[in-house]
């Protein structure tokens, strides 16, 4: 596996990051994950905008232009002999002195990796979902960005693993649904789709935005907000959105079967078509 690290393409076994890097020490950085199909990173412009917005919010300089980053991606495709997979860009503040202060840190560390696309067999069958013991996803001011510190999501994912489930729901302190461990969440109530957003503490997901826009174009009502878990349990359908897999339907929540929303099949087909054209 070849990676790009600070201006060089290297075998992954030769890539080295400083022991003083603040991304490792404090999670002081951001990342983006993009699905790549036939050499086209899906919704690349939107991912790059969020990547730059996150870097600006954290005050981490990003010296690479969008065109230069796209050139890095293409070279990774060539070196990896693949044009399909999952691309990840990680930017940290770089090495620095001991302590929380970012003063004197740098230069930033930029790592770009390309991974095989995840298998879709389980996703096609629908996910088994459990409710995590974790409450909250961290400070809401960070919700618009993919910051490197993902401990609430990691612990929620561990809850899913322990239960033999595919995904876990994270609630806020009031017991309202926020997001999945690795994905944004939608549910159908009556003739409306609901999805928590940054105001509720959920990541401002790129695939979530595409799905919401598509549903509105179809004439479906989409509300950004949340509801208590007990109300979500009685939804007419539940599904998740994430960059690596797209929309994924849930078939079970906490051991109870869920209804299958009839509109999901059309939504999934539209997403698959967009992957190959956008």
* Chain segment 203-244, per-residue pLDDT in tens: 999 999 999 999 999 999 999 999 999 999 999 999 999 999
CB of 157 closer than 8 Å to CB of 168: yes
146 Cβ neighbours under 8 A, 6+ residues apart: 30, 31, 32, 33, 50, 54, 203
Instruction: Give the chain's mean pLDDT.
Output: 96
Catalytic residue, from 32, 33, 200, 249: name it: 33
| 120 pLDDT more than 90 | no
- Measure the CA–CA gap between 6 and 18, rounded to whole angstroms: 12
| 122 pLDDT more than 80 | no
For residue 165, whether the previous peptide bond is cis, meaning omega lies within 30 degrees of 0, is no
- Measure the CA–CA gap between 159 and 154, rounded to whole angstroms: 9
Specify whether 121 is catalytic.
Answer: no
**What per-residue confidence (pLDDT) applies to 119?**
83
What predicted TM-score, i.e. pTM, was given to this entire model?
0.95
196 phi and psi, to 5 degrees?
Answer: -65, 145
What mean pLDDT is predicted for residues 184-191? 95
**What per-residue confidence (pLDDT) applies to 125?**
87
109 phi and psi, to 5 degrees?
Answer: -105, 125
CB of 148 closer than 8 Å to CB of 108: no
Chain centre distance of CA 72 = 21
DSSP 86-103: EEEEEEE--B--SSS--T
- Is 208 exposed, middle or buried (CB count within 10 Å of its CB: 0-12, 13-18, 19+)? buried
* Chain segment 73-101, per-residue pLDDT in tens: 999 999 999 989 999 999 999 999 999 99
Specify whether 179 is catalytic.
Answer: yes
CB of 44 closer than 8 Å to CB of 88: no
- Provide the terminal-to-terminal Cα distance of the chain, rounded to the nearest Å: 27
Specify whether 192 is catalytic.
Answer: no
Task: Tell me the pLDDT band of 124, cut-offs 50, 70 and 90.
Answer: confident
Catalytic residue, from 113, 131, 137, 146: name it: 146
Catalytic residue, from 179, 200, 207, 226: name it: 179
């Amino acid at each position: 596996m070849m990676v790009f690290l600070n201006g060089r393409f290297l075998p992954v076994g030769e890539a080295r990051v400083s022991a003083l890097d603040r991304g490792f020490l404090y999670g002081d950085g951001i990342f983006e994950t993009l699905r790549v199909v036939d050499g086209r990173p899906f919704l690349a412009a939107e991912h790059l905008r969020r990547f730059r917005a996150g870097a600006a919010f954290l005050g981490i300089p990003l010296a690479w232009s969008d065109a230069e980053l796209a050139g890095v991606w293409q070279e990774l495709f060539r070196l990896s002999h693949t044009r399909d997979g999952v691309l990840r860009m990680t930017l940290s503040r770089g090495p620095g002195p001991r302590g929380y202060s970012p003063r004197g840190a740098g230069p930033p560390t930029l790592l770009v990796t390309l991974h095989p696309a995840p298998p879709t067999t389980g996703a096609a069958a629908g996910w088994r979902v459990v409710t995590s013991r974790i409450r909250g996803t961290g400070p809401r001011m960070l919700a618009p960005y993919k910051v490197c510190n993902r401990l609430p999501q990691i612990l929620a994912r561990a809850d899913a693993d322990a239960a033999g489930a595919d995904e876990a729901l994270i609630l806020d302190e009031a017991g309202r649904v926020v997001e999945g461990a690795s994905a944004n969440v939608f549910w159908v109530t009556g003739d409306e789709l609901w999805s928590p957003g940054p105001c509720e503490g959920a990541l401002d997901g790129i695939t979530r935005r595409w799905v919401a826009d598509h549903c509105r174009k179809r004439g479906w009502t989409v509300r950004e907000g949340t509801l208590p878990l007990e109300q979500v349990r009685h939804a007419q359908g539940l599904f998740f959105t994430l960059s690596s897999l797209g929309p994924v339907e849930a078939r079970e929540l906490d051991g109870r079967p869920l209804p299958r929303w009839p509109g999901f099949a059309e939504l999934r087909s539209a997403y698959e078509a967009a992957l190959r054209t956008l």
